[in-house]
Amino acid sequence: MLEVRDISFGYTSESPVLDGVGFSAGPGEVVAVLGNNGAGKSTLIKCMDRILKPGGGEVLVDGTNVLQLSRREHARICAYVPQTPPGGDMTVFDAILLGRRPYITWDASARDREIAHEAASLLRLDGFLLRRLNELSGGERQKAAIARALAQEPRVLLLDEPTSSLDPHNQHETMRIVRDIAREKGICAVCILHDLNLAVRYCSRFLFIKDGKAFAYGGHEIMTGENIEEVYHMHVHIIDYMGIPIVVPFPEIKL
């Protein structure tokens, strides 16, 4: 379903940020993009969403190179949630309804409004719909941004640190919602995460990026202490507690 081929990007030719990064994922899968700060994770999904223009490579969704589509056509396939969602005087419902923009020709239809309400309900925002974005906490704005992306009914959902502004309960709830929606609707979600335990619990595929290159990609079999230590330069143990894998860091131990 999703195939990313040899994506390269650099602000200058002498300093590449991404160097031939590629991976593939099927419907219903959630891909965690992992790596240190500055590794190129955000740059990768911005290239996938055409916020940045790759120096080379392709992004294929169901065989179509979405980098060659119009912005409107691209927005019907890929939805992007930024790391810092915008505020403003717009109501939460209107912000979510903007996710229907790729489908609206003149005015929002009853079906568009229904889809926006459904997306709000999934993120438990029903009681916030008439509030202004600038009245919300950062975490609440983050959930509104995810609801807006879901209202686009995308085939690929791109999330840049979707849990960064959320408390622990909402972190788990949001990742569970993303995982369940991917499975139920047969879409692919690509999430940049810094919390390895959220990644290993809710994601099915893992892309480690190191120095602008794909260091390792695969399922749970690549979530090993050796790979994590190589990428993060930190000693870890991976234990099993009640069937849940847990990454335990030991930063005080020198490698």
Q: Is the pTM of this model over 0.95?
A: no
Phi, psi (rounded to 5 degrees) for 250:
-130, 75
Best CA proximity match to 222, nearest among 180, 210, 251: 210
Q: Distance (Å, rounded) from C-alpha 92 to C-alpha 107?
A: 18
pLDDT at 178: 92
pLDDT tens for 60-76 read: 999 999 999 999 999 99
| Domain stops at, among 153, 170, 198 | 153
- pLDDT value for 15: 79
Entry field: residues in the chain: 255
Q: Domain residues for 140?
A: 86-153
CATH number at residue 52: 3.40.50.300
Helices (H), ranges, the chain: 41-48, 71-75, 92-97, 110-122, 138-151, 168-185, 196-202, 225-232
pLDDT at position 255: 65
Residue ranges of the chain whose pLDDT lies below 70: 255
pLDDT score at 64: 94
Residues 170, 233 within the same domain: yes
At residue 160, φ and ψ (nearest 5 deg) are: -100, 100
Same domain? 51 vs 164: yes
- Clarify whether residues 67 and 165 are in a common domain: yes
What confidence score (pLDDT) does residue 147 get?
94
Residue range 28-61, pLDDT digits in tens: 999 999 999 989 999 999 999 999 999 999 999 9
Same domain? 160 vs 55: yes
